[in-house]
DNA sequence: CGTCAAGATGTGAGCGATAACATCGCATCG
DNA sequence: CGATGCGATGTTATCGCTCACATCTTGACG
């Protein structure tokens, strides 16, 4: 920065101002400084900047996995929104594990991020303490916690799963199995399971243990589980999956087993990923406004940072049932 | 840090040492300091640390998209490797555009990253200057540039596409179309196209213009393109796609058109994503060691940072042809 | 018992930028 | 024509930490 200042014939303070308060510098000086910056290839040092200004242009975002276009859609939107505002996303992958989340969080806190974005509302005690001490905006995504840590943007997973289950019933399916992820601290899938069970109960449909299947994340697990299921319990007429990934895996498992979809077995998913519309047969699913979730999340963070967000702490982005060929 | 020091009854210098050179502190003091850190919930300030130590524990990685499990596989591995070494990944998405890459790069350089990871070997002049000035390790992924900027880890996309094309010929296919992405600065897909054309020429097979199809990233484009293709040029007997995403889209397009795969139309992909093995019919593809690419990349960066990597600048991770049901 | 080395801890400077305040020049106005 | 105020620029202190060096303690050894 000293080089730039010398070349432009001003002090570094003027260079600093030219960079972040251009309006406070005369047009002539501004141009000289900009020329000097270009000539020297100067890049401001964010470490120094954020050390003195006490806040950094970094937003931390932690997601269970990046191998899932539901999350990547939100990530892309977040990344776009924040880089437009001059912030960078420090991304971490928790692998559906709140201890990993804690570890990542404690590492990232060292950057004194301007805000923190987490998936779900399940966190370790240590994580909560860390977040509390940091005193920055925290947004929990993808669910509507009754007792949010700070802010939350998402949808009612329980209600959506409930609706889909009732829809399947309406479409004539009766023996509806539920294929879920088996991560205990994943409040989204737990809530979806609860919505499913509530609907089944209200509809007077029996849920036997083998109808609630839990598998790890991964297409092949879903596929294998369904092939297993139809062998053991052939009377199942629909499988509702707690994510589109699982649903596509389930669909492939059913096709492998020689079943026709939806005639022999209906499949429903959750997420409406790109593949859901393209796959043959196309996938009936719950559409989740993932870009909107990213957008709203970025919006309330920016408002909070600019001195005051006055809206509700929990923002419901809604969902909708999309019926396609698979059910 | 002053709080911690006061609580532990030492100076901040001792706290600092306890944090990054524990061996230089007596065991008794170390314990007192660690207790104090726990009690106060102290988190070191990386900005201050990297300001004075002149290097930051940040690695910048830029990828065309995150909506692609080929890249997310590499990203996950990179993230795992680097966080194990105490580094954080600052991730950016270029949308296959080298101007966006430049913009992201110039923003991220402000963090004085320890290393930079890019996809492909096509960059703007300004990007190159930026990288040159920064004097940090730069690794280009996913290809084997003849003239790498610094280091590179990948595979020969040209050779792999050449091999796959010859394999398709060997399996009896003659009128082989090539479905590619239409991003001009994507050296991977350009090279794959070149490999395809070379093989076709050597085999004495004609490549008419409508056999080389270019579409934007996205399943629906691939699906639509194939449905269009089979209408116009019904004699095509195979479609080789420059990525598995395209291949799955193509497959779905073919199924929509009522074709049997591979009897009426064979499909081959590139990448061997998770879905490739699960989809029905399973996808013949080029397996790319994406985790290995991430691992090797992390390895040579760490070696370089620790004072000297002496191996070759370009590391070839190889590939293999995987024949499944679709061809 | 004095010397010295090695280990443990402390001291002062400074990394590169910005905040807050100080100063300067110049146009405006009674 | 001097006072006033505002816009443009400079000065100084400081952010939290680590580097290089200084100091102190301890124990081994001749």
Task: Indicate which of B279, B291, B294 best probes the interface with A, i.e. most A CBs within 10 Å of its own CB.
Answer: B279
Report the percentage of chain A scoring pLDDT > 70.
100
A19: CB partners within 8 A, 6+ apart: A44
- Cβ contact B43–A90 (<8 Å): no
What is the structure's pLDDT at A16?
95
A106 Cβ nearer than 7 Å to chain D strand = no
Query: Does residue A76 have a pLDDT over 90?
Result: no
**Is pLDDT above 80 for B307?**
no
**pLDDT per residue as tens digits for the range A285-304:** 999 999 999 999 999 999 99
Q: What is the DSSP string of A256-271?
A: HTT--TTTT-EEE-SB
Identify the pLDDT of residue A308.
80
Task: Please tell me the predicted confidence (pLDDT) of residue B70.
Answer: 82
What pLDDT sits at residue B13?
94
Structural domains of chain B sorted by starting position, each given as residue range(s) with its CATH number in brackets: 2-44 (no CATH), 53-155+290-317 (3.40.50.2300), 157-287 (3.40.50.2300)
Convert the pLDDT of each residue in A185-241 to its tens digit.
899 999 999 999 999 999 999 999 999 999 999 999 999 999 999 888 778 999 999
Whether the full predicted model's pTM is greater than 0.85, yes or no, is: yes
Residue A163: is its pLDDT beyond 90? yes
Count CA within 13 A, CB hemisphere, residue A184: 3
pLDDT tens for A110-125 read 999 999 999 999 999 9
Does the pLDDT value for residue B38 go beyond 90? yes
A26 touches strand D (CB under 7 A): yes
Give the mutation candidate from B99, B104, B110, B290 for the A interface (greatest A CB count, under 10 A): B110
- A vs B: CB pairs below 8 A: 139
Q: What is the pLDDT of residues B46-75, one digit of tens each?
A: 999 999 988 899 999 999 988 887 888 899
pLDDT band of residue A255 (cuts 50, 70, 90) is very high
Supply the mean pLDDT for chain B. 94
What is the rounded distance in angstroms from the CA atom of residue A215 to the CA atom of residue A192? Answer: 15
Report pLDDT digits (tens) over B70-107: 888 899 899 989 988 989 999 888 989 999 999 999 99
**Minimal CA separation from A58 to chain B, in Å:** 10
**Which residue's CA is nearest to the C1' of nucleotide D15?**
A52
Contact map slice: A 4-33 vs B, CB within 8 A:
none
* Inter-chain touch A111–B88, beta carbons under 8 Å: yes
Question: In A, which residues are within 8 Å of B84 by CB distance?
Answer: none
Q: Nearest CA of chain A to the CA of B45: how many Å?
A: 5
pLDDT score, position B293:
96
Interface of B with A in 86-125 (CB under 8 A): 86, 88-93, 104, 106-112
Q: Calculate the average pLDDT of chain A.
A: 94
Length of chain B: 327
pLDDT for position A70 = 82
């Amino acid at each position: 920065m000293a080089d730039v200042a010398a070349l432009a014939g001003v002090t570094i303070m003027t260079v600093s101002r030219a960079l972040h308060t251009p309006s406070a510098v005369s047009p002539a000086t501004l141009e000289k400084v900009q020329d000097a910056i270009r000539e020297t290839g100067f890049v401001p040092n964010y470490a120094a900047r954020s050390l003195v200004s006490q806040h950094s242009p970094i937003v931390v975002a932690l997601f269970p996995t990046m191998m899932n276009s539901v999350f990547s859609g939100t990530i892309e939107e977040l990344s776009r929104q924040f880089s437009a505002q001059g912030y960078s996303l420090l991304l971490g992958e928790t692998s559906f594990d709140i201890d990993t989340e804690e570890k990542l969080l404690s590492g990232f806190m060292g950057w004194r991020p301007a805000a923190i974005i987490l998936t779900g509302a399940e966190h370790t005690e240590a994580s909560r303490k860390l977040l509390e001490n940091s005193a920055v905006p925290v947004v929990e995504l993808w669910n509507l916690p009754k007792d949010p840590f700070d802010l939350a943007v998402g949808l009612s997973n329980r209600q959506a799963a409930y609706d889909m289950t009732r829809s399947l019933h309406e479409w004539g399916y009766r023996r509806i199995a539920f294929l879920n992820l088996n991560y205990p601290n994943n409040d989204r899938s737990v809530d979806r399971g609860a919505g499913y069970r509530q609907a089944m109960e209200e509809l007077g449909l029996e849920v036997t243990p083998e109808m609630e299947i839990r598998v790890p994340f991964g297409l092949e697990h879903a596929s294998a589980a369904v092939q297993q299921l139809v062998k053991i319990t052939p009377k199942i007429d629909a499988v509702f999956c707690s994510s589109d990934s699982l649903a596509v895996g389930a669909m492939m498992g059913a096709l492998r087993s020689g079943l026709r979809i939806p005639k022999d077995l209906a499949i429903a998913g959750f997420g409406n990923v790109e593949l859901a519309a393209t796959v043959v047969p196309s996938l009936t699913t719950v559409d989740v406004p993932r870009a909107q979730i990213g957008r709203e999340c970025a919006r309330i963070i920016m408002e909070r940072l600019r001195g005051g967000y006055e809206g509700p702490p929990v923002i419901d982005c809604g969902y909708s049932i999309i019926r396609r060929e698979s059910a």
